[in-house]
Structure formats: structure tokens, C-alpha cells
Amino acid sequence: MRAWTLALLLATAACSKVPEKASAAKPAEITFDGAEVTNASALIAHGNRLTQVLGCKGCHTPALTGANLLDDMPQFGAVYASNLTQVVRHDTDAQLEQILRRGVHPDRKQLWVMPSEVFQNLSPTDMSSLLAYLRSLHPAGSPTPPPRFTKLGMKFISSGKLHPVAELVSQYRSKPSVDLGPKYAFGRYLTSVTCAECHGSDLTGVKDLEPGLNTPNLIVAGGYSRPDFERLMTTGVPVGGRKLKLMGDVARERFPHFTPHERDAVYAYLKARAELPAD
Ligand code: HEC
Ligand code: HEC
């Protein structure tokens, strides 16, 4: 039995003496499509899809055996997106969940670059299938080292341009994107675990995501027709066919792994958000 089912049963039991209408039904959990599977292989397949749409495979490599993200910039140091096939051999599920939701590592004082600030929003069911998929990996390659920063890298950090992940987790939590009610809740959920990583927790855009690269307020999506949005999300080509610096590659690699229904929901939420009266 899932922990949250148990919690719900206990809560219902505790409420059994209060009048009927006070025990309001728990709203259905919002998850990616296809999360409500029960057999182990379907759960693992769902977790595998999540590693694609959430970008784990972009940073940790398609085989999840890890890579140095600062390969091109050794003057700053070396930050490995870890070899996850090795990590899952010694971490418990609880430790993995602490890393993914809190940016808290069992041994290291700080965690860097790993986008736990958005993964904290993953539903319990999506998180379980992600962990089930990680558990299904066979160990490969060798363990990757913890981050190492050069003097220049440390200077970059102390200038406030790079924050420890745990700090970002609380920043993101305190500034969520606008809630447009149940009709748009699914789209809001999906953007909170994907787009928010680069467009900011409230989707209003980020200055200097990388030196010289800004992301726009996702109000821009309001100017897209649904077919143009589909083209951006599945092929990386924006309206007007311009060449994008980063978004094109990100979209092409990650967002074809959304279901069409999920892309509908992302679009509907962003469109409704863009049409809010300015205040
Ligand atoms: C933007 C790049 C990026 C993305 C996307 C990303 N990670 Fe990471 N991840 C990292 C980096 C870098 C580290 C090492 C951070 C450190 O040690 O300070 C890391 C560390 C981890 C760790 C801790 C490993 C250890 O060495 O103990 C786990 C577990 C993990 N990532 C899982 C995931 C999962 C699962 C996803 C997708 C849901 C994901 N990561 C997405 C960059 C990324
Ligand atoms: C890994 C970072 C990253 C993620 C994740 C990301 N974006 Fe972007 N996005 C960018 C950057 C950077 C730009 C600025 C354009 C460029 O790449 O040069 C951009 C631009 C855009 C644009 C404007 C395109 C135009 O017409 O100029 C739209 C629309 C957009 N993103 C939608 C999304 C949506 C929707 C999501 C989530 C489903 C998302 N992005 C997730 C980095 C990201």
C-alpha cells in the first residue's frame, strides 16, 4: 500500500466522529499521464519517460552514467552530473528523495546545479515511478567525483551567480506560478516541473541563465497558435523559423516525450496565464 493511501485512511478514521460534510474528499493527485499504473514494468516505463521529459538524461547522459558539465570550462572546475547507476547502489529511496526534493545530500554539505528546485513539485506517484526506474538500472561505468571548484569557480559562486540547490529549493517554493484553478491545474503542474527550471519559478523569465542568455516570460507562449506551439515543442522550431540558442535543442530532446494531452494542458495554462489582465 502506498504511504499516502495509508495516510488518507488514517485521516478518514480520525475524522469519523465529525459530521459527514466536514470530511471533504481529498482532491485527486495530479500526475503525468499514465502514472496510475500498478504493474512493475509499466511503472518503470513511466519513470523512464519522466527521466526524458524532466531532463535527467540531458545532464546525466542517456545511459545515466554521468558526465562533467564543465568539460568546456575547466577554468571553473569540474561538476559531474553523477553516475546514477552507481549512486542507486548505496542510497536509500529516502536519501534519493531528499536529494530530489530538498537538494540535501547524504554526505556532501551542498549540492550544485542539480535542479531539485523544480523536482520538489513532483507528485508522490511520479516520484515513486522515477525511483522505481532508477532502481532498475544496472551498474555501469565508474562512480563520479563530487564537484570541485577552482579559485575562479569559487569567485563566481561568491559573486552570487550560482546558488546551492537547497537555497533555490526554498526560493522556488516561496514564489510559485499563478494558480488559475482546477481547469488549468494539470498544465500548471507540468510547467512547474519542466519550464520553471529555466523560465523561473513563476515563469516570468530569468536573466543570465547562462552568461549572456536570458529566458523570456512565458507570456510569449500566448502569442503562439496551438499548431505553432506543437512545432516548437516537438521540433524546436519557433514561430518565424528563427534559430534559438538553447530552447530549440531542449524542446527537441525533451518535449516530444510529453503526451499530446500534456502539451495541450501546458499550452492551455500558458495561454490562460498570458490572457490575465495586467495589474
Ligand atoms: C541541469 C543538469 C541536471 C539535471 C536536469 C538533473 N541533474 Fe541530477 N545532478 C546534476 C549534478 C551536477 C549533480 C551533482 C551535484 C553535486 O554533487 O553537487 C546531480 C546529482 C544528482 C543526484 C545525487 C548523486 C550523487 O552523487 O550522490 C541524484 C540522485 C540525481 N542527480 C538525480 C537526478 C534525476 C533523477 C534527475 C531527473 C529527474 C536529475 N538528476 C536531473 C545535474 C542534473
Ligand atoms: C533548459 C532550459 C529551458 C527549459 C527547460 C525550457 N526553456 Fe523555453 N527557453 C529557454 C531559453 C534559453 C529561451 C530563449 C531562446 C533561446 O534559446 O535562445 C527559451 C525560449 C522559449 C520560448 C520563446 C520562443 C520564441 O518564440 O522566441 C518559448 C515559447 C518557450 N521557451 C517555452 C518553453 C516551455 C513551454 C517550456 C516548458 C515545457 C520551456 N520553454 C522550457 C530555455 C528553456
Q: Which set of grid coordinates corresponds to residue 135?
A: 532502481
Probe target for ligand 2 pocket from 52, 190, 198, with the most ligand atoms within 8 Å of CB: 198
Residue type, 230: E
Residue closest via CA to ligand 2's atom 27 equals 238
Q: Bridge partners of 148?
A: 78
Q: What is the pTM of this model?
A: 0.92
Q: Which portions of the chain are predicted below pLDDT 70?
A: 1-26, 279
Ligand in closest contact with the CA of 230? 2
Measured by CA distance, the residue closest to atom 18 of ligand 2 is 245
236 lines ligand 2 (CB under 6 A): no
Return the closest-CA partner of residue 260 out of 8, 85, 33, 38. 33
In short, whether 213's Cβ falls inside 6 Å of ligand 2 is: yes
Q: Which helix (H) or strand (E) holds 50?
A: helix 40-53
Looking at the DSSP bridge assignments, the partners of residue 68 are 80
For residue 144, how many other CB atoms are within 10 A of its CB?
A: 20
C-beta of 122 in contact with ligand 1 (< 6 A): no
Helix (H) or strand (E) holding 14: helix 3-14
User: Cα 65 from chain centroid?
Assistant: 19
**CB of 133 closer than 6 angstroms to any ligand 1 atom:** no
> What is the per-residue pLDDT for 14?
36
**1-46 pLDDT tens trace:** 333 333 333 333 333 333 444 445 667 899 999 999 989 999 999 9
Which tens digit of pLDDT belongs to each residue from 202-231? 999 999 888 789 999 999 999 999 999 999
State the pLDDT at residue 65.
Answer: 98
Architecture of 176-274 per CATH?
A: Orthogonal Bundle (1.10)
Parse the chain into domains and list their residue ranges.
Answer: 31-174, 176-274
**Cβ proximity of 199 and 270 under 8 Å:** no
Q: How far is the CA of 272 from the centre of ligand 1 (A)?
A: 32
Cα of 90 vs centre of ligand 1, distance in Å, is: 15
Q: How far apart are CA 212 and CA 219, in angstroms?
A: 21
Look up residue 131 and give its amino acid. L
In whole angstroms, what is the distance from residue 251 CA to residue 10 CA? 43
CA distances for 59 relative to 56, 86, 144, 158, 234, angstroms:
6, 16, 13, 24, 20
- CB distance 193 to ligand 2 below 6 Å: no
249 φ/ψ angles, rounded to the nearest 5 degrees:
-65, -40
Nearest protein Cα to ligand 1, atom 43? 114
Q: Distance between the two ends of the chain, CA-based, in angstroms? A: 46
Helix (H, G, I), strand (E, B) or coil at 25: coil
Task: Look at residue 25 in the predicted model and tell me its pLDDT.
Answer: 66
Report pLDDT for 278.
77
| Cell numbers for 171 | 526560493
